[in-house]
Amino acid sequence: MPNILWITGGRVIDPANNRDAIGDVCVIDGKVSAALTEDQQRSANKIDATGLVVAPGLVDIHVHFRDPGQTHKESIRTGTEAAAAGGFTSVICMPNTSPVCDNAGTIQRIMDKVARVAVVNVYPTGCLTLEMEGKRLAPTGQLKTAGVVAMTDNGKCVQSHEIMRRAVEYAKMFDLTIMDHCQDETQTEDAVMNEGEWSLRLGLRGWPKFAEDIMVARNVLLAELTGAHIHMQHISSATSIDIIRRAKGRNIRVTAEACPHHFEFTDADLKDYDTNLKVNPPLRTDADRESIIGALKDGTLNCIASDHAPHTPTEKDCEFDYAPLGIIGLETSLAASLHALYHSERLTLSEVVALMTHKAAEICNLDAGTLSIGATADMCLFDPDEAWTVDADKFYSKSRNCPWHGKSLKGKVKATYVAGHAVFDGQSIII
């Protein structure tokens, strides 16, 4: 007997197929089907989704699972549980593990563990350079064969333009997206927050936007020179957005992402020295935040990504200067994005869903983010208007470094399905 799922009465939002209407989603043996026969309807597992949005499973192309090497912060199991609870069914994990993902053996080790314990789909990335030192190229071809979907030294930025050019050329040969953490390290030594009024007020070392802007410009030039696809991660600067917008106007192959914390918070929110707001790149000004929202609206920024970066409470519980950079975001990303973009009436609900589904999947050519007939039935059911108070102590993530802790948000995930099978029921992981 086939495994049949019949979701009825929900608002189906599938931006890849320009669908936004009350309707049904039918699933047979893990694939989206156009319809069910009467016999199939009688044997189906019928779910009443009245009042809920039925969307493709969310896609996050920028997460850190700390596995291998730092599983006291997160693991593939806990990270994917957090993803499922947040409505995500596909994630791309960064290579700055221990050891780093600069060889096929480490990639195979990760994929073996994913096959054993992951709750959602996990796609690995490979390092651009050996040991992420920015000096010698990693074996791009071997990493592609091992299964990576992109190349990046995320957590670091290749400082040598010559090395970066060669890395980009090799990645293009193997049809791999290059993801870059844009940061001129000569400008950011010992810096901890955005350079400006608030860094002066708080007596903290400033981190200039120029450090991001110069590397974004470098990458635009390299993409134009080589024809490679370069994706800029966690863009925070209005000037960087302007550079990317003009590059796209010249049809250069660049894309970029924004993170919820960068379009929700600003450097003024650091007034109490909250280390849960210490991120890389740092929170910028309100003008930068507004530019990010505008760029998500007009397509300059292609997608939303969480940059889920777990750290233990002990690591974050120290002086601001010494706390590690990064926050967790998988379990709040949808609600935070709805809060800042949809409930503020800056973007439509369909536009937000698009930024978190097919537009994210397209960056690395993932087979995800749609409810097309025949597609794998990865789905997220959520109530966009249900209010809830964020309690990081109840998260599935091992870490608690969440700047939304204690805040009220709207947008509650009610169910997550991977290949037609429920993995989260709104209350608990069920796999």
Tell me which DSSP letter residue 414 carries. Answer: E
Residues contacting residue 38 through CB under 8 Å, at least 6 positions apart: none
CB atoms near residue 144 (< 10 Å): 21
Active site residue 307: yes
Tell me which DSSP letter residue 374 carries. Answer: T
Helix (H, G, I), strand (E, B) or coil at 399: coil
Q: Where are the alpha helices (DSSP H) in 68-194?
A: 76-85, 104-117, 140-146, 161-173
Instruction: Give the distance between the most distant pair of CA atoms in the chain.
Output: 70
Q: How far is CA 56 from the centre of its chain?
A: 15
378: closest CA among 25, 98, 137? 25
Per the structure block, which two tokens stand in for 123?
Answer: 């796609």
The active-site residue out of 60, 102, 153, 307 is 307
Residues contacting residue 180 through CB under 8 Å, at least 6 positions apart: 152, 153, 157, 158, 215, 219, 230, 231, 232, 233
User: Rounded to 10 degrees, what is the CA torsion of 246, 227, 168, 326?
Assistant: 30
Residues contacting residue 52 through CB under 8 Å, at least 6 positions apart: 10, 11, 381, 382, 383, 414
Q: How far apart are CA 28 and CA 26, in angstroms?
A: 7
Instruction: Give the residue numbers marked as catalytic.
Output: 307
